[in-house]
A and B are shown apart, each in its own frame.
Chain A
Amino acid sequence: MAGMDVEMRGNAIDEMLKKKRDLNPLPEPETLDDLVQGLKIIFQDNEINVEEVNEYMSKYKTNAREWYKYAKFDHHRYTRNLVDQGNGKFNLIVLCWGEGQGSGIHSHSDSHCFMKVLDGTLDETMYSWPSDSEDERELQKTETHSYGKDSVAYINDSMGLHRVENSSHTNTAVSLHLYSPPFDMVECFDQRTGHRKKVRVTFYSKFGQRTPFPDQGPTCTEQADVARTGCTSVETLEPENN
């Protein structure tokens, strides 16, 4: 019965949205500014139709001149460049991926996450959540996807964890991410053990201005804190067989 209620409620919301849009259609997202305005309208409501956001973001056709000022690359890791704070309802961020750069495996803080590729190609590898048991176990890969220019992907915590990377050794990649509600912490997971750690996500630039963060702390790239923990080689003992 609860399932039916959810479905009925979903249908009611869709009906209401349809009426709303018939009265006030969203602006065609011909430019990045149009897209931001339309997204602000969509996210005014408390109920979000994921399909609608997906379609709307797909309609915008990437134009480098419009996002060029946010496209700041770093030699050592991917960057997050804030575009808009969506009246508090979402963060719109441009991510810049140099050749071979990728994220760690992470979750999404119970938020909706949309990713649109603006340039290049991004590969996504999805993983199941680690089990609640104490066991150290390798994370299980579930799906992989490759996203080209203008494609839109969506993820939330119920779908699992993922790693996003630019696998190209010759081309950079740029993506536009929408996170709603906005968050500044993610959980980053160790592929071999399933261990997780909380990581604060920071901005490389905001509204086109570089914003260096005084002390980065751990980041959600693959293993930023490895150098700190230290490790030495270990000897085993074996009797000599004469």
Chain B
Amino acid sequence: MMYEDDVPPENRVDLAYSGLDLFPEHLSEKADRIQSLHLNNNRILVLPRAVSLFQELRHLDISANGLTHVSGELTHLPNLRTFIAKNNLLEDGALPKELGRCLSLQVLNLSGNGFMEFPEQIEGMAGLRALYFGANRLRTVPSEIKHMSRLEILYLGGNQISSLPLEVGSLSSLMSLVLCDNRLESIPPHLARLRNLRSLSLHNNRIAALPSEIIALRNLTELSLRGNPLVVNFVRDLSYDPPTLLELAGRGVKNSGIPYGEGDVPPNLYRYLSLARKCPNPKCTGVYFDARVKQIKFFCNIYA
């Protein structure tokens, strides 16, 4: 496994696929040597308090057990770096309230469970580097996620997320953001602040347009967009009614700031000039009178 390289083989215990019904507390006799424990694919329904006996534990994998409850004693492990509990039966409230006290935790994998709400206690985990929360039932991501300042990997694929808080853009350490197979209709332009982002997975969502600023991300080399209703073609024929000479003259006066008073122009023109409206495009400092440009933002077809 990717994360286990810091543990010599003799300090790893592999009891995966072993038909266990209970957490193997008896192993605590050798607890001073057990740094990595694989308990995935058994029938351990509860991670009990006895887990705190394993004070040297750095990596714990208890995936695919039908686990419904994680004891708070987990947070008493001073060296725990990796906790993997994917493909279990964990739901809202199953995690210990004090999980945030686990300061050593760097990798947390809760994919394939039944969470509907992003657990509050995770929001404060400023030391967490990787959070895997795929295939749950999340509908939103809390703005408090901005506190997870060390987060490098955020996996949220396969949920029911329909919008992202702009605070995701504050996760300055983020290198990999996975949002595929959700219900996103748009992406906040604040994601363009993720200078370290190398991969962004957006396929199979409901995104109609992407903020163009995302393209500026220099480190972004992997981007998936398929399965989104991105508008495909440029509108090629631009047919419109040109503004009148009156309109053009009026714009000229206003945009150039040519000073005029009531006596300088005929009353009807004076009245006309007072009708100038500011262009709704915040980047445009111009005014218009009757002919208005209606903005439709869409996305070009350079992307697959």
- Please tell me if the beta carbons of B212 and A99 are within 8 angstroms of each other in the complex: no
How many chain B residues touch A (CB < 8 A): the figure is: 56
Q: How far is the CA of A190 from the CA of B293 in the complex (A)?
A: 33
Quote the shortest CB–CB distance from B285 to chain A (angstroms). Answer: 16
Interface residues on A, range: 35 or more
Asked if B66 CB lies within 8 Å of chain A CBs, one says no
Known contacts: A231-B303, A235-B293. The answer to whether A75 contacts B215 by CB under 8 A is: no
Q: How far is the CA of A230 from the CA of B2 in the complex (A)?
A: 34
Q: How far is the CA of A232 from the CA of B155 in the complex (A)?
A: 28
Partner among A102, A190, A235 whose Cβ is within 8 Å of the Cβ of B295: A235
Residues in B with CB closer than 8 Å to A50 are: none
Q: How far is the CA of A77 from the CA of B210 in the complex (A)?
A: 22
- Please tell me if the beta carbons of B298 and A234 are within 8 angstroms of each other in the complex: yes
Q: Which residues of A (101-145) have their CB < 8 Å from a CB of B?
A: 102, 104
Residue of A nearest to B198 (CB): A76
Partner among B221, B225, B238 whose Cβ is within 8 Å of the Cβ of A76: B221
Interface stretch of the complex, out of B42-50, B91-99, B142-150, B173-181: B173-181
- Please tell me if the beta carbons of A237 and B238 are within 8 angstroms of each other in the complex: yes
Known contacts: A222-B226, A235-B296, A237-B293. The answer to whether A170 contacts B111 by CB under 8 A is: yes
Partner among B112, B221, B302 whose Cβ is within 8 Å of the Cβ of A229: B302
Known contacts: A99-B111, A169-B134, A239-B241. The answer to whether A77 contacts B222 by CB under 8 A is: yes
- Please tell me if the beta carbons of A100 and B221 are within 8 angstroms of each other in the complex: no
Q: How far is the CA of A192 from the CA of B134 in the complex (A)?
A: 28
Asked if A49 CB lies within 8 Å of chain B CBs, one says no
- Please tell me if the beta carbons of A169 and B181 are within 8 angstroms of each other in the complex: yes
- Please tell me if the beta carbons of A223 and B135 are within 8 angstroms of each other in the complex: no
Residue of B nearest to A170 (CB): B112
- Please tell me if the beta carbons of B175 and A76 are within 8 angstroms of each other in the complex: yes
Quote the shortest CB–CB distance from B250 to chain A (angstroms). Answer: 15
- Please tell me if the beta carbons of B304 and A223 are within 8 angstroms of each other in the complex: yes
Partner among B2, B157, B234, B240 whose Cβ is within 8 Å of the Cβ of A237: B240
Q: With A170-B86, A231-B302 given, can you name 7 additional A-B contacts, CB distance below 8 Å?
A: A100-B201, A222-B224, A224-B221, A226-B220, A234-B235, A237-B294, A240-B290
> What are 5 A-B contacts with C-beta separation under 8 Å?
A76-B198, A224-B222, A231-B212, A235-B293, A240-B291
